[in-house]
Structure 1
Amino acid sequence: MKSINGKVVWITGASSGIGEALAYELSKRDCKLILSARNIENLERVKSRCVNASVVLLPFDLTDFDDAKKHVESAISAFGKIDVLVNNGGVSQRSLLAETDFEVDKKLIEVDYLGTIALTKALLPHFIKNREGHFVTITSLMGKFGSPYRSGYCGAKHALHGFFDVLRMEHQKDSINVTLICPGFIQTNVAINALTANGSKQNIDDEATLNGMPVAVFAKKLINAVESTKFEAYIGGKEVLGVYLKRFFPKLLHRFVLKSKVR
Structure 2
Amino acid sequence: MIVGANGTGKSSIVCAICLGLAGKTTNLGRGDKVGLYVKRGCNKGSVEIKLYKAGGNLVINREIHVENNQSVWLLNGNQSVWLLNGRHSSQKAVEEVKALQIQVSNLCQFLPQEKVGEFAKMTKIELLEATEKSVRPPEMYEFHCKLKISGGNWRMCARKKASALEKFKQRKERNKHGVGRYYEKKRHLDMIKMLDKKKPWVEFETACNELEGVKKEREDAKKQLKTVRESQAPMLKKIQHIDSQLRPIENQMKDKTASVREASQKCKQKRDHLDSKHSANLDTNENV
State if a TM-score over 0.5 links the two structures: no
Q: Per chain length, whose mean CA-contact separation is higher, i.e. which structure has more relative contact order (CA < 8 Å, sep 6+)? A: 1
- TM (normalized to structure 1)? 0.23
- TM (normalized to structure 2)? 0.22
Greater share of helix: 2
Greater CA radius of gyration, 1 or 2? 2
